[in-house]
Structure 1
């Protein structure tokens, strides 16, 4: 059993959000990565793909999720299951949002049209 205290959680900041890793292979030796996303009002992540399914549960605020050409409006309490290998973008609404995300450990991201993949630090 591994206990990861809040003070030990890894925080990664991007231009779109702050990701707080709760568990991952390098944080608690977990085989599932779980993290929180805190996104400020009006911010948007880039169009990208993930090579594994992700499950996003929105805890607070609102967001727009563009997923493989479909646009979803989400609010606190909603969960979006994002399939692997589809272009996605998550944009915060006027109050921002907080979500908890789960994905298989080692899931990699890429940009549309690029074969280059990278392991986001909040999943590692």
Structure 2
């Protein structure tokens, strides 16, 4: 039975945000990936278009989430569904770190506005 202890989670940092990876093929998951996202106060992550559906559930704090140009303020307890092909932007306009839980299917990739492709290790 695969059990991933918090002490075994892998931490990745990109664009000022931290992603703490729990479920990936490397930890025994066959279809899904799951991680904790940490967005420091004042961060604006670059917009990116995803190729897989992502479910983002905000655990702590609040964020401004932009999907295809439409921005919504979300607060702890809210969930955002990001469909494949959607351009996603995340901003933390507050003075405190926001924490989310994200789930997606194995194989997530993202493309930045300049065409750069990202294959995040926490989702593959």
TM-score (ref. length: structure 2): 0.92
Task: Name the CA distance, whole Å, in 1 between partners of 2:30 and 2:41.
Answer: 31
Give unmatched runs, 5+ long, in structure 2.
none
Task: Name the CA distance, whole Å, in 2 between partners of 1:39 and 1:66.
Answer: 15
- Given that 1:87 and 1:112 are in contact with CA atoms closer than 8 Å, whether structure 2 keeps it comes out as no
- Given that 1:31 and 1:105 are in contact with CA atoms closer than 8 Å, whether structure 2 keeps it comes out as yes
Task: Describe the SS at the equivalent of 1:42.
Answer: coil
Provide the alpha-carbon RMSD of the alignment: 1.4
| Stretches (4+) displaced over 3 A | none
Task: Describe the SS at the equivalent of 2:77.
Answer: coil
TM-score (ref. length: structure 1): 0.92
Task: Name the CA distance, whole Å, in 2 between partners of 1:112 and 1:13.
Answer: 20
Cα drift, residue 39 of structure 1: 1.0
Partner of 2:63: 63
Partner of 1:25: 25
Partner of 1:14: 14
What number of residue pairs does the alignment pair up? 123
Structure 1 or 2: more helix by fraction: 2
Cα drift, residue 112 of structure 1: 2.9
